[in-house]
Structure formats: structure tokens, C-alpha cells
Amino acid sequence: MNEKEKMLAGLLYDSTAEDLSNERLKTKSLCHEYNLLKPNEYNKKKEILVRLLGKTGENFLIEPNFYCDYGYNIEIGENFYSNHNLVILDCARVVFGDNVFIGPNCGFYTAEHPMDPNERNKFLEYAKPITIGNNVWIGGSVIVLGGVAIGDNTIIGAGSVVVKDIPSNSIAVGNPCKVIKKI
């Protein structure tokens, strides 16, 4: 099993492997190109995101700046909107449902690192997927960690750090993020 296959399987892998490094460089070049486009260059923006991301709906917008590691592990549904400074570390799948709205300065981080410092110092890591349901609103400066699923019709309050699953029809806030109200 090569390092990419290990990464996609959620196993410990060497993040410095040449094939993965080359893929990240290609992706970061596309992100750079995207982030330099003029605000009114809608068609070019969409073209780059369709090339970059694993799956998109027809109607979506990601405001620059946007950064990701691989792109092909990201799926966005219909009517997706993200405000400025979205970061998705997509070593594992990151799936966004339909009608997802994301505030500025948000991060979705699938990458995890070993507790053992000897393994960590060898640039070994693993990744856990993230799933965001339909009709989800994520406030500004929210961080969502790997292994998390956020259910449909949910609101995540600004500044939250989501470390465990949040059920559907909830309002959740805080660090760590917790449900404060059912909708």
C-alpha cells in the first residue's frame, strides 16, 4: 500500500512522500491562482474550483482567500457559500451538504498527528473525515476537527471549536462546541 492509499484509508502515512508532496504543490498552485483573481472574474473562479474540488453543485461561491491540501477529497453541495479565508485540510473526505453557509476565517482539519513524539517527528499523520449536513450555518472563526459530523438544520456559533458530532436541528456553541438549544 502506498502513502496515498494509506492516507485515504485513514491509516498512519508519511505526509512527506513525493507523490503527496507533488499533489499538494499542484493544489496550492491552483489555490494561489484562484486567490489572485479579480472579484468580478466569476467564470474563472468557478472553472478553477470545479477542477480543484472532488464534487460541486451548480450554484456555489467560495470567497478568496481559499486554501486546501488536495481538493479532490472535498465535496460541496448545491447553494454552498463560504466567506473569506476558508481553510480545508482535506487529507480525508470533507463533505458539505446542500445550503451550507460558512462565515469568514473557518477551518476544517482532517489531519491528525500521533501522540508519540517519535512518530510525529517522522512527519507521520493520519486523517479522519468530516461531514456537514444540509441547511447548516457555520459562524465566523469556527474550527471543525477530523472525525466530526454535523447534522442537518444546525447552527454552529461563531468562534466554536467542534471536536465531536453535533446532532441535527441544533444550535451549538463554544470550545468545546456543545448543543445549547434544539431547533
What's the pLDDT tens digit per position in 29-67? 999 999 999 999 999 999 999 999 999 999 999 999 999
Domain 3-182, second-level architecture = 3 Solenoid (2.160)
pLDDT for 57: 93
* Residue ranges per structural domain of the chain: 3-182
pLDDT for 5: 96
pTM over 0.85: yes
pLDDT for 129: 98
SS3 string of 77-125? CCCEEECCCEEEECCCCEEECCCCEECCCCEEECEECCCCHHHHCCCEE
To the query of whether residue 32 is one of the catalytic residues in this protein, the response is: no
Band of residue 90 on the pLDDT scale cut at 50, 70, 90: very high
Band of residue 111 on the pLDDT scale cut at 50, 70, 90: very high
Considering the candidates 4, 46, 84, 113, report the single residue annotated as catalytic.
113
Q: Which three cell numbers stand for residue 71?
A: 481538493
